Amino acid sequence: MFSKRPSKYSPPIRTNKDSPFLEKNSRTKLTVSVIVVCLIVIYLLCTKNRRRNDSDIEKLLNSDNLNVILEQDDPDLVLFVKQNYIFKKSAADRSIGEQSETRPSKLVEYLLGQNLVTKDVSDSRYFVEIGANDGLRFTSAFYLETNLGWSGLIVEPYSVPFKELMTRPTHSQNRISFSNTTIAMTPYASKEKFHYNPTVPFWGGLSFRFYKGTQKHMNVVTIPLYTLLLAADSPSKIDLLILDTEGTELETLKTLPFDKVEVSLIAVETYNGKEGPSAVEEFLFGKGYESVAKIEVPLDPKLVEQISSIIVRTDVHSEYQIFKLKQN
């Protein structure tokens, strides 16, 4: 018998890395790893840019301890305020209420007499009134809108006069935004005590002057003025700001970014501020403004008169033909 001679050729021994199955498995693992990494990156980017929804913002604002700072230009806060704090009147709403001729307030009479405000023929004049009450008493907004054709934002913090305010007739073109909001004393949303007197609905606020007395109070969310301007799609140039917050006017003005909002004319109540009447003027002098007049508006024969300072930007004097009053 012949014995089988060993072959000189031996088949190659396959290692693990030469296995076709393992090669395919490795490629699969690599592909999966790349996909996982991509998904993680996408998730992180989406998480970073994710907009908080309404319920997130509402929970933050209504929490007993609002310890998360919502800056006044926070896009999520602005959107929430736009959807929940800014109102327009429908055609039906505009037909409700007193239809009598709107008369100018003493403040507007003076502004008209000095050519500080004029009829808007270019649809570009814009005003903001903080503390508009019920739309008829102690307010200037409706005359500017119905008689002069201005657009604007009207804000009243107390719900009782605000309900009356919303029944007043407005211009057919619906130029006005409304807000039942308490203006913040900080450049971010906060929760504060709002003091009020049910028998005198136009008198109340966050001011120190209400801390002692028989007024009632309620906890309210306060929104910065600049947030409201953004939410109401207000222009960057405000022709007239009427500010009456019963003692927190200075704090309100300090929150306003004057490098982003150009306010030509400010009529501000200076009587009730804790720092005294001159504090507001001194602050605005540093922003390029000067005082041109003081107007005393009698609220009621039995009440102290409301004193408003009219303050203008020095670089718009020629536009409004302002004649500075001589100081006594």
User: Among 83-87, 245-249, 251-255, which stretch is predicted with the lowest mean pLDDT?
Assistant: 245-249
Q: What percentage of residues in the chain have a pLDDT greater than 90?
A: 20
| Mean pLDDT on 217-222 | 78
Over residues 256-270, the pLDDT tens digits come to 999 999 999 898 877
Number of residues that make up the chain: 328
pLDDT > 60? residue 291: yes
Cα 116 from Cα 240, distance rounded (Å): 9
Specify the pLDDT at position 162.
Answer: 84
N- to C-terminal Cα distance for the chain? Answer: 142
Bridge partners of 178, per DSSP, are 87, 154
pLDDT > 70? residue 306: no
Over residues 168-189, the pLDDT tens digits come to 766 655 688 999 998 998 999 9
Question: What is the 3-state secondary structure of 263-299?
Answer: EEEEEEECCCCCCCHHHHHHHHHCCCEEEEEEEEECC
3-state secondary structure of 176: strand
The CATH classification of domain 52-320, taken from the options 3.30.70.1450, 1.10.565.10, 3.40.50.150, 3.30.365.10: 3.40.50.150
Mean pLDDT of the chain: 72
Q: What torsion, rounded to 10 degrees, do the Cα atoms 224, 227, 232, 238 define? A: 80
pLDDT > 70? residue 50: no
Specify the pLDDT at position 161.
Answer: 77
Domain locations along the chain: 52-320
Q: Which of 47-61, 161-175, 242-256 has the highest mean pLDDT?
A: 242-256
Cα 142 from Cα 154, distance rounded (Å): 9
User: Taking a C-beta distance cutoff of 8 angstroms, is the pair 144, 152 a contact?
Assistant: yes
Cα 223 from Cα 182, distance rounded (Å): 6
By DSSP bridging, strand 190-196 and strand 216-223 are antiparallel
